[in-house]
Amino acid sequence: MGAGASDLVVEEAAVPGLGDMPELCAAEVLLRLGAPDICRLARLNRAFRSAGAADFVWEAKLPENYGYLMGFVDGGEDEQGGQGKRRSAVGKKDVYARLAKAVRFDDGKREFWLEKSTGMVCMALSSKALVITGIDDRRYWVHMPTTESRFHSVAYLQQIWWFEVVGETDFRFPAGTYSLYFRLRLGKPASKHSGGRRGCGTDKSNGSIHGWDRKPVRFQLSTSDGQNAVSQRYLDDEPGSWVLYHAGDFVASEHGRPVRLKFSMAQIDCTHTKGGLCVDSVLVYPKGVHTEEVVVRD
């Protein structure tokens, strides 16, 4: 009886646990997960930790044009350029981690980053990267520093008759469908020196916010390969809240060619003035991915 109990103990001790999982099996599990879950499982045991550092796991999570994207980090835009050797020596996990942080270019007026869970590219263009009618005349527009913008500055419209904001970008987006938004707010933002307090001019009754209920704003989006979107929307959301106004969607092909985007928002009915609007940025997200309230086109 004692020998039988001893045999039972030996058999129980021989049963393998999760920590005995081969590294390749752990890697097969990680290949089916997003980056945040890979990092969580890597803390579980040695097999997942080792697999979670493997280049082939992270390369599968990177967009196919990650070499082109890393060119912006290295200070160039040619993935075949002189920085290639140094880049190839960096582990793919480190490449993913770097691209998941904002990569600034165009003198800091534009940036892109990888959405952590999907590995798809997001982009932001500041108000200073846009062509805004009357922006150089302080009677109409002023650049306001604020903590409410990722670029720490927004363009604030005081009053104007002809309202038009135009922009474009030429970029190699990984294959997929993307949505383009204008990030807007009725009323002044909090300034850098206000301790987070809301700025003045957030109440329609004081006259600072006016003209947006008379005519809708027209949003347009076009691409170099013939895609187009047009929509109209009244800017009638609650003053004091940042809102993403959906201008349209576009599809980036699988051939890796650059996509030239042109986009605009305009309200050019000169029978009345418009004012009290903040223009922060233009955002490009993978379709269905966004972090703020979105206004879709009518």
* Burial class (CB within 10 angstroms; exposed 0-12, middle 13-18, buried 19+) of 298: exposed
- CATH of region 110-295: 2.60.120.260
pLDDT above 70 for 85: no
The pLDDT assigned to 41 comes to 67
Q: pLDDT tens-digit profile of 30-52?
A: 667 777 777 776 777 777 667 77
294-295/277-286 β-pairing: unpaired
- What CA–CA distance (Å, rounded) separates 172 from 34? 23
The full set of domain ranges for the chain reads 2-59, 66-99, 110-295
Angle between helices 92-99 and 66-74 (to 10 degrees): 70
The pLDDT assigned to 10 comes to 46
Q: Where are the alpha helices (DSSP H) in the chain?
A: 2-13, 23-30, 35-41, 46-51, 55-59, 66-74, 84-88, 92-99
**% pLDDT > 90, the chain:** 55
Q: pLDDT tens-digit profile of 132-173?
A: 999 999 999 999 999 999 999 999 999 999 999 999 999 999
Q: pLDDT tens-digit profile of 160-206?
A: 999 999 999 999 999 999 999 999 999 998 766 555 454 444 444 44
The pLDDT assigned to 84 comes to 42
